[in-house]
């Protein structure tokens, strides 16, 4: 087994996966606005990615899709009547709102929360803070159900915090702006929080989704040692180029830290962080991608660094990348080179085109947790996959998901019924009981 403390929980892509183009600053999302999606292919592609990780001997879990359409949100905004009447009225009065409450964006589990392993915290307890996702409305309706799932997954071994209250409209984007560097997963590590701006400053035209103050609040409530906690500011140029989350321009796994030359705003502060890590992390291996080798535009369009980097049982690392990287010769040259001078020896490509068209690569789809053996034994097994459960999920998706979904289909009452039927059967398959609002009414 390759298990060394790491578990990945991927977001199971929901039956309402569509291209509504709701995420401002996400170039892929905007590019494919109002195109027809394939929810069935999207979900099956996501399961195939999970299978690749399982094949490496690393435990693989999942987050369930959120209840979509989210009628609770619509009723809270004053829309009354039967479920069918609510959908009909919103479709006529505010089609943009309907798109928001149908969004399947919870599939990108990297935004679910920030995770700190027990080895890093003063109280030797796992700490998890669900992201408030306040910057985008369609995502701001996710935290309640995310926290409930985290309680079910980790409640017996972790402190699950409430989302941090937003400050001046700024949000928390979770693990997509969080890195951990350590000699080995189960040894104390340095946690790097990447933020876009102070909550009390604004840059015209730049949508910085993570506030410095919120990153500091998460670090404090996770009881992290200030000497082992680092903060870096995103480069506005990177954000403007489509790196709305930091996990598009940098990634880390154990002692390896990869980043683009233009990922961070302050070069002096970056050098200080690198020097500190070199002094305190055994075998620290920073890898900088120069703009002259791969431009920021190529990095963002390929999603080269929005990949999963995992450690195998022989201490070599495997990099799981989107197939789109193969369309960029400069990225392929770089991949060939790193195999000769880094622990990264295996390169694997995965087809997640449906997610990529909405601006989410392999790293976006997963939430990474680090637990020791005792903690692992207490993780809720209902959320962990095995070959049979994987096959059962494939069958359930093939049974209920549409193979094409256009923006106009969101007005179809039948889509709501199909979505709820799938979610109901999913909770039965996983033996989770009634966890959705529609199941309790």
Q: pLDDT tens, 144-182? A: 999 999 999 999 999 999 999 878 778 899 999 999 999
pLDDT of residue 390: 98
Altogether, the residues listed in the chain come to a count of 441
Residue 25, annotated ligand binder? yes
Please indicate whether residue 331 is annotated as part of the active site.
Answer: no
Pair of tokens at residue 376? 């692992």
Count Cβ neighbours within 10 Å for each residue of 164-200 and write b for 16 or more, e otherwise.
Answer: bebbeebbbbbbbbbbbbbebbbeebbbbbbbbbebe
User: What share of the chain in percent tops pLDDT 90?
Assistant: 84
Residue 224, annotated ligand binder? no
Q: Contact, 106 vs 142, CB < 8 A?
A: yes
Residue 18, annotated ligand binder? no
Give the residue with greater pLDDT, 135 vs 277: 277
Strand pairing category for 190-195 and 178-181 = antiparallel
Angstrom distances, CA of residue 361 to CA of 211, 352, 417: 23, 7, 29
d(C-alpha 309, C-alpha 346), whole Å: 10
Residue 306, annotated ligand binder? no
Please indicate whether residue 437 is annotated as part of the active site.
Answer: no
Q: pLDDT tens, 43-56? A: 999 999 999 999 99
pLDDT of residue 135: 87
Bridge partners of 260? 289
Q: pLDDT tens, 123-141? A: 999 999 999 999 889 999 9
pLDDT of residue 22: 53
- Summarize the confidence of residues 68-90 as an average pLDDT: 96
Query: Which CATH number applies to 6-440: 2.20.28.90, 1.10.1040.10, 3.40.50.2300, 3.75.10.20?
Result: 3.75.10.20
pLDDT of residue 144: 97
Residue 51, annotated ligand binder? no
Residue 20, annotated ligand binder? yes
Residues 6+ apart with CB under 8 A from 419: 14, 15, 16, 68, 69
pLDDT of residue 272: 97
Lowest pLDDT segment from 30-44, 102-116, 319-333: 30-44
Of 6, 67, 142, 173, the active-site residue reads: 173
What pTM does this model have?
Answer: 0.95
Domain boundaries along the sequence of the chain: 6-440
User: Would you list the DSSP string of 189-226?
Assistant: -EEEEEESB-TT---TT----BBHHHHHHHHHHTTB-G
Angstrom distances, CA of residue 413 to CA of 87, 94, 317, 341: 7, 16, 47, 56
d(C-alpha 325, C-alpha 342), whole Å: 19
pLDDT band, residue 395 (cuts 50/70/90): very high
Q: pLDDT tens, 177-198? A: 999 999 999 999 999 999 998 8
Strand pairing category for 126-130 and 113-116 = antiparallel
Please indicate whether residue 127 is annotated as part of the active site.
Answer: no
Q: Contact, 221 vs 127, CB < 8 A?
A: yes
- Chain-wide mean pLDDT for the chain? 93
pLDDT of residue 183: 97
Of 17, 185, 222, 245, the active-site residue reads: 245
Q: pLDDT tens, 339-391? A: 999 999 999 999 999 998 888 999 999 999 999 999 999 999 999 999 999 99
Residue 29, annotated ligand binder? yes
Give how far the C-alpha of residue 242 lies from the chain's centroid of Cα atoms, to the nearest Å: 16
Q: What are the backbone angles phi and psi of residue 300, rounded to the nearest 5°?
A: -70, -45
Q: Contact, 188 vs 182, CB < 8 A?
A: yes
Residue 358, annotated ligand binder? yes
Residue 439, annotated ligand binder? no
Residue 24, annotated ligand binder? yes
Residue 398, annotated ligand binder? no
pLDDT of residue 359: 80
User: Would you list the DSSP string of 8-50?
Assistant: EEEEPPPTT-------TT-HHHHHTTTPPB-HHHHHHHHHHHH
- Summarize the confidence of residues 418-438 as an average pLDDT: 97
d(C-alpha 416, C-alpha 413), whole Å: 5
Of 67, 142, 328, 364, the active-site residue reads: 364
């Amino acid at each position: 087994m390759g298990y060394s403390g790491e578990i990945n929980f991927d977001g199971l892509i929901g039956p309402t996966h569509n291209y509504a183009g709701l995420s401002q600053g996400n170039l892929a999302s905007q590019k494919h606005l109002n195109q027809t999606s394939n929810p069935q292919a999207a979900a099956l592609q996501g399961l195939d990615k999970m299978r690749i990780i399982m094949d490496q001997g690393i435990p693989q879990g999942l987050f369930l899709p959120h209840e979509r359409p989210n009628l609770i949100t619509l009723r809270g905004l004053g829309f009354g009547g039967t479920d069918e009447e609510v959908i009909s009225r919103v479709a006529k009065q505010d089609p943009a709102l309907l798109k928001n409450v149908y969004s399947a964006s919870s599939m990108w589990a990297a935004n679910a929360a920030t995770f700190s392993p027990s080895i890093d915290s003063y109280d030797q307890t796992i700490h998890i803070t669900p992201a408030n996702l306040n910057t985008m409305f369609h995502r701001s309706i996710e935290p309640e159900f995310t926290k409930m799932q985290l309680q079910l997954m980790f409640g017996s071994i972790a402190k699950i915090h409430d989302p941090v209250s937003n400050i001046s409209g700024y949000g928390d984007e979770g693990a997509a702006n969080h890195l951990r560097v350590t000699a080995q997963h189960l040894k104390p590590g340095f946690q790097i929080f990447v933020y876009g701006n102070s909550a009390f400053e604004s840059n015209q035209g730049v949508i910085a989704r993570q506030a410095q103050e919120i990153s500091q609040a998460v670090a404090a409530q996770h009881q992290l040692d200030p000497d082992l906690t680092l903060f870096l500011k995103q480069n506005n140029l990177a954000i403007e180029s489509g790196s709305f989350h930091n996990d598009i321009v940098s990634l880390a796994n154990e002692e390896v830290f990869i980043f683009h030359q233009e990922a961070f705003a302050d070069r002096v502060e970056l050098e200080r962080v690198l020097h500190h890590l070199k002094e305190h992390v055994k075998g620290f291996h920073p890898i900088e991608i120069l703009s002259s080798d791969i431009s920021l535009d190529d990095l963002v369009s390929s999603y080269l660094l929005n990949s999963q980097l995992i450690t195998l049982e022989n201490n070599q690392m495997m990099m799981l990348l989107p197939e789109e990287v193969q369309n960029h010769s400069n990225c392929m040259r770089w991949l060939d080179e790193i195999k000769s001078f880094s622990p990264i020896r295996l390169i694997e490509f995965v087809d997640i085109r449906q997610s990529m068209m909405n601006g989410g690569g392999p790293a976006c789809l997963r939430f990474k947790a680090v637990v020791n053996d005792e903690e692992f034994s207490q993780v809720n097994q209902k959320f962990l996959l095995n070959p049979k459960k994987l096959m059962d999920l494939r069958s359930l998706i093939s049974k209920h998901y549409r193979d094409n979904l256009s923006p106009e289909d969101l007005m179809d009452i039948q889509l709501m019924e199909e979505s709820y039927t799938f979610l109901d059967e999913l909770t039965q398959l996983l033996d989770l009981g009634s966890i959705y609002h529609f199941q309790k009414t």
